[in-house]
A and B are shown apart, each in its own frame.
Chain A
């Protein structure tokens, strides 16, 4: 090294750190901390009207008549919308994201308690609610079906008599795996253990309810619809199809979202009525759902009745699993599942185990309950599957007299078996399940816990319960060959614009609800291009200004849109290389990339930083090259991704009362590369307590009789 080079090296700024894997503080926090988040209810447009919804007190009833005279006459009321009015515009029914239909406002019948029956549009929110009291609906109650087994019985009341050709309450029948091979495996079994359980209905219950502000400008013919949507692009397409408005004239803006957890994926009647009302009245219309409405009418989760059987050999080797599952869909099939997979990814039910044979039979039934079945803090229906297989493994351990950890150890898919094709057709990418479990056991002090458990059993006092679960989750939908919503393939997208001053804006087709995208995705670009995260604005949730994408749910944003962000960054880096070669007057082959700059090989002082290159892209780009440093990438993942985990939960149980209390939770998750460990851990710490209501079988109560009218629900 020459003296000149040494001096240059010494005075060169410190190499920037790699932003990947850094727990940097969240970029989005400042506005939330200042109370300057911009949520749906904060949107206030000039001349705006307010909408309130009248809901059915009955789970199943014929509507004889709706008298809106008094409500319409109340000063301040601008309009009262009923299903009859919507039917005149062919808007009384709308498609669901699973290809079924759902009423916007009831016309003939109500089919669930809390169903939308009429809407009041008024100058003031208080007046709108006053007017609801003045609407007189004449209902004739019908027998309600709130149990999916009863719904499928011969002679059960037909819930969807509006659907041509629908003669019973069956929504779908779907199978996965190999029935014959599984049958054979069961013949070889030393023992068959069974679980017959109901994974109860629950509600994601984000703290912010749903809402929208629809602004159809009669002069520009544009519809600007602010909406609490986790999937604004897909919703725009559905709105174009439902309303007949040209898609380019619909702008869906999903502002800051106060939690979603799957609840804000479906299309809800309130959105459609507010939009229709704005169209008819020529004024902005705001609808903010109340909590009661949110709990009783919007996307629930779970509600699977599952019968599982696990065949095991004498030494504990798992031979096969078979499942018969009945899903309570409510009165419409509105799960937002990939269209090929009626029960989502429930067939991941073989879990983390080398199970050579599996057969899964899933049926869905209509009942007089709210539709939904959303992916609540998980990939599509994976939680239900994990619960079932882990219960089966626990029962098998008890019946075989084996320690549950030992039984898992004997059956885990081994690291050398990956890529591993499961009996139901998933191709698991990688995993090291035993290491994850060993880490969890060690952190929990498993051996000491077992000894303590034994001691307490003999000495009395509070008992110790030790729960163990290993999980493999299939997520990141998806490869477009298998995954779509209403035919729209489940890719996702990223557009990156690097401006002349070296600052950038990243636009994505997904929409976060607290997951930290504004930080995480900036870190991905920072990792690829060396632009510090503080210099990158991440923009989501505006269909006019972001590339098309399927949205944020089912644990798909980072694996799909995050990959798109990396891919578009790499494309820009390739262009940057050409510009650097031009600026440094060398061949591209003579350049090497490090962190945030291209340097000439062997002459490290000859460099151009990404910021210098960005400036040149607009001021001094090579002749014949397009100006600018911008790009867009649509990423279609080749496969799902398969993170895994082992959790240990220790509870104390009062033997006198049965009361129990968790005292220690250990979570070992392998999610792949941690882009921001602080955010990853925050997600896990936030999700874990949500699991606690299921073991004691807390559930969202629903109507049990046709006349039940008190809205009752609780959340998990």
Chain B
């Protein structure tokens, strides 16, 4: 039997009737047609389906859609604002932090959650934060650099911003 749910997705309220067994990643991809969260494994290993639920990174293949009823979900489609890229998107482009692009949305969401909590992370902090996310193209080095670049840009922006 289907259940009614209402979720705030990227700041917008969305409702759906879903089977209780439907995974969050399929709710986002198949029902809401937000295809930026990908599926790379069936065992919660690869992390390419990561989205933020109430600001916390979650592997959306390991959560049911009905579990986000009344909660807030951020996907990669919610990063850019007013037609401008989010600093983390700019950073990944600047530092060549992506190749095939399949892991990228998840990596960027994990990075934004990290920077929200810790605006000045060490390399170890960054590697720990992305340790649940696999990348088969880049060897991670440029992903780490991208997060460092973003952190630097965001710190500079907040230092320059009027208080």
Contact = CB atoms under 8 A, between A and B. Distances in A.
A685 B38 contact: no
A537 interface: no
Contact of A29 (B22, B92, B102): B92
Interface string B81-113: 000010001001110101111111100100000
Contacts of B34: 35
A481 interface: no
B58 interface: no
A205 B43 CA distance: 14
**Most chain B beta-carbon contacts within 10 A, residue among A258, A291, A516:** A258
B62 interface: no
A35 B35 contact: yes
**Most chain A beta-carbon contacts within 10 A, residue among B29, B77, B136, B140:** B136
A208 B96 contact: no
B36 A36 contact: yes
A349 B47 CA distance: 39
B138 A685 contact: yes
A37 interface: yes
B106 to A, nearest CB: 10
Contacts of B26: 125
A12 to B, nearest CB: 32
Given A207-B103, A207-B136, A291-B43, A33 B89 contact: yes
Contacts of A235: none
B35 A126 contact: no
A278 to B, nearest CB: 20
Interface stretch (A319-327, A542-550, A686-694): A686-694
A39 B139 contact: no
B131 to A, nearest CB: 14
Nearest to A263: B136
A42 interface: yes
Contacts of B137: 259, 514, 686
A29 B19 contact: no
Nearest to B138: A686
Contacts of A514: 98-101, 137
A299 to B, nearest CB: 14
B52 interface: no
Interface in B8-35: 19, 21-22, 26, 29-30, 33-35
Interface residue tally on B, bucketed by range? 35 or more
Interface in B39-64: 39-43, 45-46, 48
A39 B102 contact: yes
A451 interface: no
Contacts of B142: 682, 685
**Most chain A beta-carbon contacts within 10 A, residue among B76, B98, B102:** B102
Given A33-B104, A34-B76, A515 B99 contact: yes
A690 B93 CA distance: 23
A209 B136 CA distance: 12
Contacts of A679: 96
Interface string B124-144: 000000000011111111100
29 contacts: A26-B96, A33-B104, A34-B76, A34-B80, A35-B34, A35-B35, A35-B77, A35-B79, A41-B38, A205-B136, A206-B102, A207-B38, A207-B48, A207-B100, A207-B134, A207-B135, A208-B38, A258-B102, A259-B100, A259-B137, A261-B136, A291-B40, A514-B101, A514-B137, A679-B96, A681-B96, A685-B138, A685-B141, A685-B142
Given A41-B35, A514-B99, 8 more contacts: A25-B94, A33-B89, A34-B89, A35-B37, A207-B102, A291-B45, A686-B137, A690-B139
Interface of B: 19, 21-22, 26, 29-30, 33-43, 45-46, 48, 75-77, 79-80, 85, 89, 92-94, 96, 98-105, 108, 134-142
Interface of A: 25-26, 28-37, 39, 41-42, 44, 125-126, 204-209, 256-261, 288, 290-292, 513-516, 678-679, 681-682, 685-690
